[in-house]
Amino acid sequence: MLDTLLPILLFSALALAAIGAVRRVRLWRQGRPSSVPVIKGLMQVPRRYLVDLHHVVERDKYISHTHVATAGGFVLAALLAIVVHGFGLDSAILAWVLLAATTSMFIGSLLVAKRRSPPPSRLSKGPWMRLPKSLMAFSIGMFIVTLPTAGILPEGVFQEGLGWIAALVLAAVIVWGLGEMFFGMTWGGPMKHAFAGALHLAFHRRPERFSNRAGGEHRSTGLKPLALDDDRTKLGVEVPADFTWNQLLGFDACVQCGRCEAVCPAFAAGQPLNPKKLIQDMVVGMAGGTDAHYAGSPYPGKPVGEHAGTPHGPIVNRAGGALVDAETLWSCTTCRACVEECPMMIEHVDAIVDMRRFLTLEHGNTPNKGAEVLDNLIATDNPGGFDPDSRLHWAADLNLPLMADKREAEVLLWLGDGVFDMRNQRTLRAFISVLRAANVDFAVLGTEERDSGDVARRLGDEATFQSLAKRNIKTLAQYRFSRIVTCDPHSFHVLKNEYGDLGTPETPANYHVQHHSTYINELVVAGKLTFKAWKGGSVTYHDPCYLGRYNGEYEAPRDVLRALGIEVKEMARSGYRSRCCGGGGGAPITDIPGKQRIPDMRMEDVRETGADLVAVGCPQCTAMLEGVVEPRADIKDIAELVADALIIKTPDDKATQSKPAPAAPRTVLEATP
């Protein structure tokens, strides 16, 4: 009976899966068009899966091994089951391999079950709780039915006497297994992740994220520009169908592992954001329905079951109650921790900014100080609304060389909007004293510099971003310099990764941009700086999101600290897992309340190291961390630490003059004030 039944079951499941796949693809195709190389993309899947995705999964060795055993076992078992049981190929060797595959899958399923007993809070429950059992059903069922083929049990063992009953039971088990694994894969069960995930890898909207044989950097973190001049298209994403089809596909790939939730600073702070839930809400919206079936952690403070959406219904309602509430979107610091952790390579930040774009550009609905900051940027080219001519007021005594005078310089020092902030002015002064100590040929744009556009863009105001960027690009095009160096990771990121899209043939915008820690490290390596011995206490280092995760620079700041004689006491969350300070993405401006403040949590991370001082490399981080009430560690920018340690050689150190009057004033200016 099984000989007859198995092919029927298998092919029926496959047929149903195919129907489901078509339906699922239709859901995705509701999205806006996005052209991708289909064949090339599909060809890339194995490498993207085995190299890039595995690289992320492997950070959790347990689940990595589990997944290899389970998924590897399943893929092999499924193929062989079709061959052996579907087409009835009576090969003992294949049967033995099939047995091995199902054994592997079974062991994997035990590990999956173990991980879920009980499940950590980040994992979704619901259908996911039955998945280990389904995996077992499939693997055990397939194992047993294959035993006669392998010659371990006699042929026909399931056809006589009690065998019939066993066969019925077995058939039921296999139906369960096939139902979950084949049917469920395309009809919305947990196994959907395998189907959507594979296609997501093939048609990912950021193919440049993936490695290739040529090597080189494979990082893609810049936001994609929005076409502003198309009157027919609405700006940003209002309804789920406004996402591109491959974004929708990406959402569908979510495996609800909750790694994003575990690293999200807003979620930890009790703000109404959970990246996993957000992605699931997009899936709900795409298919239509409510979030009542969602079985993971909710948005803090927002019970599940009160939100619903449709593919063409608005995601955000002013009154709430649509798919997500606006405050969820405005809670994000764009720190990219979720994207960095996502084993399915989903682009949460892109999605959030897409939705913010609609709220800001089409509705002018940027909360709290958001509208004011954007108005300031439009009117004054800086977020604080300061007189644009006052950009260099803080440096009146530094005689900074201006690009307008020099026309060319080795280093164009991009000052950033920190020029308006007294705290950051100290960092800038420190860095300038470092540049001068190393005799670097540098110049600044002075009042020609404008805000980089970072905040405007993260707040969804693409128009203001592009306006600022284009004008900055035009200014930069007038001058010759071999690199741009900045103390601000946000300017750094935007100049390096986001201006390029806005360049023109006449004014290309591909610059060699460096963060000051990288540049200082180069100066150190080149022997251009000498330091006094470090006398301070213990030091930890906080990785700025826009330097670390966005741009992969983790080592240069640490190298500089080592060169100062500092042994960095690392925080539990450092490097690519660094916890955001709370200052990115305009989050301090939109200021969505939570249960605690993100910088407080970060300073708690610092406290755990016992460090007396936390070295930073970002004006936002400095401001956020210094805003934490004392007692706490001191906060110093790397430039300040370097400037404090400098041994400055001056011309009059060499010769003692007989006259009481040295000829020329030394050009060395203190870092403070």
Whole-number minimum distance, CB 384 to other proteins, in Å? 7
In whole angstroms, what is the distance from residue 639 CA to residue 493 CA? Answer: 19
Whole-number minimum distance, CB 659 to other proteins, in Å? 6
Stretch that binds other proteins, among 221-229, 302-310, 422-430, 582-590 (CB under 8 A): 422-430
Whole-number minimum distance, CB 413 to other proteins, in Å? 18
Binding of other proteins at residue 232 (CB under 8 A)?
no
Contact (Cβ atoms closer than 8 angstroms) between residue 127 and residue 68: no
Stretch that binds other proteins, among 87-95, 133-141, 393-401, 575-583 (CB under 8 A): 393-401
- Size of the chain in residues: 673
Whole-number minimum distance, CB 610 to other proteins, in Å? 18
Binding of other proteins at residue 670 (CB under 8 A)?
yes
Whole-number minimum distance, CB 416 to other proteins, in Å? 14
Per-residue interface string for the shown chain with other proteins, residues 96-135, x marking contact by CB under 8 A? ----------------------------------------
Stretch that binds other proteins, among 113-121, 183-191, 446-454, 662-670 (CB under 8 A): 662-670
Whichever of 61 and 649 has its CB closer to other proteins, that residue is 649
Scan for tokens 């690199």, then name that residue: 483
Residues 181-210 that bind other proteins (CB under 8 A): none
CA distances from 53 to 34, 45, 643 (A): 22, 10, 42
Residue 380's CB is within 10 A of a number of other CB atoms, namely 17
In whole angstroms, what is the distance from residue 480 CA to residue 483 CA? Answer: 9
DSSP 288-317: -EEGGG--S--STT--TTS-EE-TTS-S--
Closest CA to 76 of 68, 66, 64, 65: 68
Binding of other proteins at residue 527 (CB under 8 A)?
no
Whichever of 213 and 535 has its CB closer to other proteins, that residue is 535
Binding of other proteins at residue 662 (CB under 8 A)?
yes
Whole-number minimum distance, CB 390 to other proteins, in Å? 7
* Structure tokens that stand for 43 in this block: 């060809």
Whole-number minimum distance, CB 402 to other proteins, in Å? 13
Binding of other proteins at residue 532 (CB under 8 A)?
no
Binding of other proteins at residue 404 (CB under 8 A)?
no
* Structure tokens that stand for 553 in this block: 């620079």
Contact (Cβ atoms closer than 8 angstroms) between residue 570 and residue 605: no
Whichever of 293 and 666 has its CB closer to other proteins, that residue is 666
Q: Which ranges in 358-409 belong to alpha helices (H)?
A: 370-380, 403-406
Strand partners, 480: 408
What is the signed CA dihedral for 277, 374, 511, 580, rounded to 10 degrees?
Answer: -40
Whichever of 367 and 599 has its CB closer to other proteins, that residue is 599
Q: What are the helix and strand counts (H, E) for the chain?
A: 30, 9
**242, 261, 325, 421: residue in contact with other proteins (rule CB under 8 A):** 421
Whichever of 208 and 387 has its CB closer to other proteins, that residue is 387
Whole-number minimum distance, CB 667 to other proteins, in Å? 8
Whole-number minimum distance, CB 584 to other proteins, in Å? 21
Binding of other proteins at residue 627 (CB under 8 A)?
no
Whole-number minimum distance, CB 623 to other proteins, in Å? 11
Binding of other proteins at residue 397 (CB under 8 A)?
yes
Binding of other proteins at residue 229 (CB under 8 A)?
no
Stretch that binds other proteins, among 66-74, 159-167, 196-204, 395-403 (CB under 8 A): 395-403
**40, 55, 293, 393: residue in contact with other proteins (rule CB under 8 A):** 393
* Structure tokens that stand for 198 in this block: 């594979």
Whichever of 420 and 499 has its CB closer to other proteins, that residue is 420
Q: Is 385 left (phi over 0), alpha (psi -120 to 50) or beta?
A: left
Per-residue interface string for the shown chain with other proteins, residues 478-517, x marking contact by CB under 8 A? ----------------------------------------
Strand partners, 541: 615
Cis peptide before 631 (omega within 30 of 0): yes
**25, 398, 440, 477: residue in contact with other proteins (rule CB under 8 A):** 398
DSSP designation for 420: G
Binding of other proteins at residue 384 (CB under 8 A)?
yes
In whole angstroms, what is the distance from residue 307 CA to residue 617 CA? Answer: 40
Stretch that binds other proteins, among 98-106, 140-148, 416-424, 610-618 (CB under 8 A): 416-424
Whichever of 313 and 385 has its CB closer to other proteins, that residue is 385
Binding of other proteins at residue 154 (CB under 8 A)?
no
Would you call 407 helix, strand, or coil by DSSP? coil
- For residue 212, give every residue at least 6 positions away whose Cβ sits within 8 Å of its Cβ, in sequence order, or none: 47, 218
Binding of other proteins at residue 659 (CB under 8 A)?
yes
Binding of other proteins at residue 386 (CB under 8 A)?
yes
Whichever of 161 and 665 has its CB closer to other proteins, that residue is 665
In whole angstroms, what is the distance from residue 326 CA to residue 307 CA? Answer: 12
Amino acid letter for position 481: F
DSSP designation for 216: S
* Structure tokens that stand for 321 in this block: 């109650």
DSSP 264-295: -HHHHTT-S--HHHHHHHHHHHHH-EEGGG--
Residues 533-562 that bind other proteins (CB under 8 A): 535
Whichever of 426 and 558 has its CB closer to other proteins, that residue is 426
Binding of other proteins at residue 673 (CB under 8 A)?
yes
In whole angstroms, what is the distance from residue 266 CA to residue 273 CA? Answer: 6
**244, 425, 497, 540: residue in contact with other proteins (rule CB under 8 A):** 425
In whole angstroms, what is the distance from residue 134 CA to residue 128 CA? Answer: 10
**What is the strand order of the sheet 539-541 is part of?**
539-541, 613-616, 634-637
Whole-number minimum distance, CB 525 to other proteins, in Å? 29
Binding of other proteins at residue 449 (CB under 8 A)?
no
Whichever of 397 and 506 has its CB closer to other proteins, that residue is 397
- Beta-strand relationship, 634-637 and 539-541: unpaired
**121, 159, 390, 596: residue in contact with other proteins (rule CB under 8 A):** 390
Residue 228's CB is within 10 A of a number of other CB atoms, namely 14
Whichever of 420 and 431 has its CB closer to other proteins, that residue is 420
Strand partners, 53: none
In whole angstroms, what is the distance from residue 277 CA to residue 229 CA? Answer: 33
Q: What are phi and psi of 178, to 5 degrees?
A: -65, -40
Residues contacting other proteins: total by CB under 8 A: 27
Q: Point out which residues bind other proteins (CB under 8 A).
A: 384, 386, 390, 393-394, 396-398, 420-423, 425-426, 535, 659-662, 665-670, 672-673
